[in-house]
């Protein structure tokens, strides 16, 4: 049994040195993790566990901060800070606002 | 919790493969190394991952492994090492 | 029903938002409404991370190169020594590993992306990549070569896998030909890549 994140020593291709510019939403994900951590509402290990259990396909497909926000959302629901229902309604609402302003 | 091991002790990493959140990488399980330093004691990440407090804190060590012994096909110098932080409950005395 | 909330006035991308961008908006708005975070805290945290760069780590290296007593303290307790220089370290437990003519150090986090952010800012994409995380522990010299770093024969390579609570900074070897240089001039030679260990500072 080996986590799909536990890749030390596995075969891999050449290194790519290109660097993407961080989008503001990515920086906010990072900021929220730091702040929630300092307020003891999440630990780094809860963040990591969430990423390690997204599934191998999601781990490959999602970008770094997509994995983070998915994991943070899950951790906050697990802790009872937000509910799945609240999250779903607000995501739908945010989607509507985005379409309306487009 | 008082550390069981001290720098210079020969230790081996347990061969165990449980599910859950682990910070002992797969590639080092079953290998022998030497304790390089005692890092202090920290809450257990295997428990923190599930929202528990991970106490009592566990001793954490940096353990040094010889690369040639870890990888059968290692292409480097005989003295090359990999140093890894490992929690006490993953280590046994050689 | 919910109270007025800040809209995203400056979308990050043209085109529809992804589920994950919507998730970020939703989580942030909910946390603000529940008064768990404030917009100001988020903004300040983003600015603080933007302000951090490898220049912080370079100052530490330059001081260690010119002040042997500081170097000893740095190697004994990385966090405390950095705090001496007024660098905010938060909860970071820093281990500084010294590269010498005999030993070259390289840092990786095979399990995720642990990195000394308080000294270097955000990690580069390559540090978080599968290729680096998989290969750095197993074939460090080949990885170094891909960064254009060829080590002399007889140099030992030590890889540090940042698996738990420590964060690592490489104290690179001070290049020859820099005798008498000021700290500021020396700091200019110290790149992020040399503090991770994939490259070696040069005076030229």
Domains, chain A, ordered by start: 24-101 (1.10.472.20)
Taking only residues 72 to 91 of chain B, the set having a beta carbon closer than 8 angstroms to any beta carbon of chain A reads none
- C13 has pLDDT over 90: no
Domain boundary among C7, C29, C50: C50
3-state secondary structure of C179: coil
Q: Among C137, C161, C164, whose Cβ lies nearest the Cβ of B42?
A: C164
pLDDT in tens, C69-96: 999 999 999 999 999 999 999 999 999 9
Identify the pLDDT of residue B1: 72
C96 and C23 in a common domain:
no
Q: Tell me whether residues C22 and A70 touch, CB distance under 8 A.
A: no
| Chain C CA closest to residue B82 | C159
**C99: pLDDT strictly greater than 90:** yes
Does residue C6 have a pLDDT over 60?
no
| Tokens (6 digits) for C51 | 């302000």
Number of H-type helices and E-type strands within chain A: 5, 0
Residue A101's pLDDT is what?
A: 86
Q: Does residue C157 sit at the B interface (CB-CB below 8 Å)?
A: yes
Say if B52 is an interface residue toward chain A (CB within 8 Å). no
Check residue B20 and give its pLDDT. Answer: 95
Task: Report chain C residues whose CB lies below 8 A from the CB of B24.
Answer: 163
Question: Does residue C172 lie within any of the structural domains?
Answer: yes
Contact state of B17 with A2 under an 8 Å Cβ cutoff: yes
Position C16 scores a pLDDT of: 83
What length is written for chain A? Answer: 102
Tokens of C88: 């905010």
Residues C160, C61, single domain; the answer is yes
**Looking at residues C114-124, what average pLDDT do you find?**
97
Question: Which residues share a beta bridge with B87?
Answer: B60
The minimal CB distance from A95 to the residues C12, C17, C90 is found for C17
B-chain residue closest to A8, CA distance: B27
Each residue's pLDDT tens digit, A54-76: 999 999 999 999 999 999 999 99
Strand B58-66 to strand C93-98: parallel, antiparallel, or no bridges (unpaired)?
unpaired
How many contacts does A have with C, using Cβ atoms within 8 A?
155
* Cβ–Cβ gap B76/C141 under 8 Å: yes
pLDDT score of C1 more than 80 = no
**B74–C160 CB contact, under 8 Å:** no
Contact A79/B51, CB-based, under 8 Å? yes
Q: Which residue of C has its CA nearest to A14?
A: C131
Asked if residue C152 belongs to a domain, the reply is yes
Q: Which domains does chain B have, with CATH numbers?
A: 10-93 (2.30.30.50)
A94 neighbors C17 (Cβ within 8 angstroms) = yes
Contact check, Cβ <8 Å, C49/A62: no
pLDDT value at residue C153? 77
Q: Confirm or reject contact between C155 and chain B (CB < 8 A).
A: yes
Whether C82 is catalytic: no
CATH code of C144's domain = 3.90.330.10
0.90 surpassed by pTM: yes
Residues C182, C89 within the same domain: yes
pLDDT tens, A4-42?
A: 999 999 999 999 999 999 999 999 999 999 999 999 999
Q: Which of C66, C64, C90 is nearest to C79 (CA)?
A: C90
Domains of chain C: total:
2
* Residue C112 among the catalytic residues: yes
Q: Which two tokens stand for residue C78?
A: 């990385």
| CA C130 – CA A12 distance, rounded (Å) | 7
User: ipTM of this complex > 0.90?
Assistant: yes
The answer to whether the beta carbons of residues C16 and A98 sit under 8 Å apart is yes
User: Can you tell me the mean pLDDT for C146-152?
Assistant: 94
Q: Which domain holds residue C44?
A: 19-50
């Amino acid at each position: 049994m080996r986590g799909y994140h536990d890749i030390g020593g596995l075969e891999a291709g050449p290194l790519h040195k290109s660097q993407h510019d961080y989008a503001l939403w990515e920086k906010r994900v990072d900021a929220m993790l730091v702040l929630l951590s300092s307020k003891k509402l999440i630990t780094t290990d809860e963040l990591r566990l969430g990423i390690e259990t997204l599934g191998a396909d999601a781990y490959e497909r999602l970008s770094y901060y997509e994995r983070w926000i998915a994991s943070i959302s899950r951790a906050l629901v697990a802790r009872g800070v937000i509910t799945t229902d609240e999250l779903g309604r607000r995501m739908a609402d945010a989607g509507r606002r985005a379409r309306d302003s487009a | 919790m008082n550390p069981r091991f001290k720098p210079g002790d020969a230790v081996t990493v347990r061969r165990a493969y449980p599910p859950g959140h682990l910070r002992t990488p797969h590639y080092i399980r079953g290998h022998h190394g030497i304790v390089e330093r005692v890092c202090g004691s920290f809450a257990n990440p295997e428990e923190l991952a599930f929202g528990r407090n991970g106490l009592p804190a566990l001793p954490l060590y940096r353990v040094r492994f010889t690369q040639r012994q870890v990888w059968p096909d290692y292409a480097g110098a005989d003295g090359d090492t990999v140093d890894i932080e490992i929690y006490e409950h993953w280590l046994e005395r050689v | 029903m919910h109270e007025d909330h800040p809209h995203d006035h400056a979308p990050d991308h043209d085109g529809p938002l992804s589920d994950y961008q919507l998730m970020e908006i939703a989580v942030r708005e909910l946390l603000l409404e529940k008064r768990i975070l404030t917009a100001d805290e988020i903004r300040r945290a983003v600015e603080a991370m933007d302000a951090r760069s490898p220049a912080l780590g370079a100052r530490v290296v330059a001081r260690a190169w010119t002040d042997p007593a500081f170097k000893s303290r740095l190697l004994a307790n990385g966090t405390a020594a950095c705090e001496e220089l007024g660098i905010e370290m938060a909860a970071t437990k820093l281990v500084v590993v010294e590269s010498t003519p005999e030993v070259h150090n390289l840092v990786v986090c095979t399990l995720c992306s642990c990195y000394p952010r308080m000294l270097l800012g955000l990690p580069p994409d390559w540090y978080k990549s599968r290729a680096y995380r998989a290969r750095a522990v197993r074939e460090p010299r080949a990885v170094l070569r891909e960064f254009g770093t060829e080590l002399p024969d007889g140099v030992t390579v030590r890889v540090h896998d940042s698996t738990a609570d420590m964060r690592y900074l490489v104290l690179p070897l001070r290049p020859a030909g820099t005798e008498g240089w000021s700290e500021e001039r020396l700091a200019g030679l110290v790149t992020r890549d040399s503090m991770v260990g994939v490259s070696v500072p040069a005076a030229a």
